[in-house]
Structure 1
Amino acid sequence: MMQPQAVSRCEDKPTQAQSSSSQTGEPGHQPMISGLHTLQIQAFRNYPSAELGLQSKAIVLTGPNGAGKTNLLEAVSMLAPGRGLRRAQRGEIGHFSEQLTQNRTDRTKEVQGASWSVFAELSGPEGVVAVGTGQAPEQPDAPRRVVRVNGVASAQTDLARLVTLSWLTPQMDGLFIGAPSARRRFIDRLAIAFDPAHSGRLSRYEKAWRERTRLLSDGQTDENWCASLEKILAETGIAISATRSALIDDINRESGLLASSFPVVNAHLTGQAADWLEAGLPAIDIEDRILLAARQNRQAGLSHMPGPHETDLTLVYKGQSAHLASTGEQKALMIAMVLAHAVLQDKRLGRPPILLLDDVAAHLDPARRAELFSLCSELSGQVWYSGVDAQAFLALREEAQFIAVSDGQLNL
Structure 2
Amino acid sequence: MTLSQLTLHNFRNYPELRLNAAPGFMVFSGANGAGKTNILEAVSMLAPGRGLRRASLRDIARQNGPGDFAVAAQLDDVHLGSGTTTEAPERRKTRINETAVPTNDLAEWLSILWLTPAMDRLFTEGASGRRNFLDRLVTALEPAHAGNCARYEAARRERNRLLADTHPAEKNWMDGLDVQLARYGSLVAEARHRMVSALNQGLEQSDSQIFATPAVGLADEQLHSEQQLIQMLQQNRAADRAAGRTIRGPHRADLKVFHSAKQQPAEKCSTGEQKALLFSIILAHADLIADRRDRRPILLLDEVAAHLDPERRAALFAKLAERGGQVWLTGTEPDLFRDIPDESLHFEVSDGTVTQR
- Counterpart of 2:88? 139
Q: Among all aligned residue pairs of Structure 1 and Structure 2, give the percentage whose two residues are the same amino acid.
A: 42
Residue 266 of structure 2 is matched in structure 1 by 322
Question: Which has the higher mean CA deviation after the structures are superposed, 194-203 or 332-341?
Answer: 194-203
Which amino acid letter does the alignment assign opposite residue 228 of structure 1? G
SS at match of 2:145: helix
Do the aligned partners of 1:294 and 1:303 also contact (CA within 8 Å) in 2?
no
**What's the TM-score, normalizing by structure 1?**
0.81
1: distance between equivalents of 2:337 and 2:134? 29
Is the 8 Å Cα contact of residues 38 and 53 (structure 1) preserved in structure 2? yes
Which residue in 1 is equivalent to 2:181?
233
Name which of 263, 277, 286 aligns with 2:212.
263
- 1:220 counterpart SS class: coil
Which residue pairs with 1:24 in the alignment?
none
* SS, match of residue 349 in structure 2: strand
Which of 155, 163, 167 lines up with 2:114 in the alignment? 167
1:245 to 193, 205, 215: 193
Q: What is the correspondence of 1:18-167 to structure 2 with a 5 Å cutoff? A: 34-96=1-63, 115-123=68-76, 128-141=77-90, 143=91, 145-167=92-114
TM-score normalised by the chain length of structure 2? 0.92
Partner secondary structure for residue 396 of structure 1: coil
Aligned to 1:313: 255
212 and 299 in structure 1: CA distance in 2 versus 1, 3 angstrom threshold: closer
SS of match in other structure, 2:158:
helix
Indicate if the aligned counterparts of 1:267 and 1:313 stay in contact, CA closer than 8 A: yes
TM-fit CA distance, 1:397:
4.6
Name the structure 1 match of 2:291.
Answer: 347
Alpha-carbon contact 1:234-1:290 (below 8 Å) kept = no
Spell out, residue by residue over 1:174-202, the C-alpha distance to the aligned partner (whole angstroms, 9 max, x if none).
Answer: 00001100000001011012222111111
AA partner of residue 286 (structure 1): Q
Distance 1:380 1:132 in 2: 25
TM-fit CA distance, 1:290: 2.0
Structure 2, unaligned runs of 5 or more: none
Alpha-carbon separation, structure 1, partners of 2:226 and 2:139: 23
Structure 1 residue 303: Cα displacement:
4.2
Moved over 6 A (4+): 299-302
Equivalent residue pairs, number: 352
- Helix, strand or coil at the partner of 1:266: strand
Q: What root-mean-square deviation, in Å, do the aligned CA atoms of Structure 1 and Structure 2 show?
A: 2.0
Do the aligned partners of 1:43 and 1:97 also contact (CA within 8 Å) in 2? no
> For the residues of structure 1 that align with 2:78 and 2:301, how far apart are their CA atoms?
23
* Alpha carbons of structure 1 residues 56 and 81: separation in structure 2 relative to 1, 3 Å: same
Q: For the Cα contact (< 8 Å) 2:163–2:241, is it kept in 1?
A: no
Cα-to-partner distance string for 1:178-232 (whole Å, 9 max, x where unaligned): 1100000001011012222111111111111111111121123332222221222
User: 1:301 Cα shift?
Assistant: 6.6
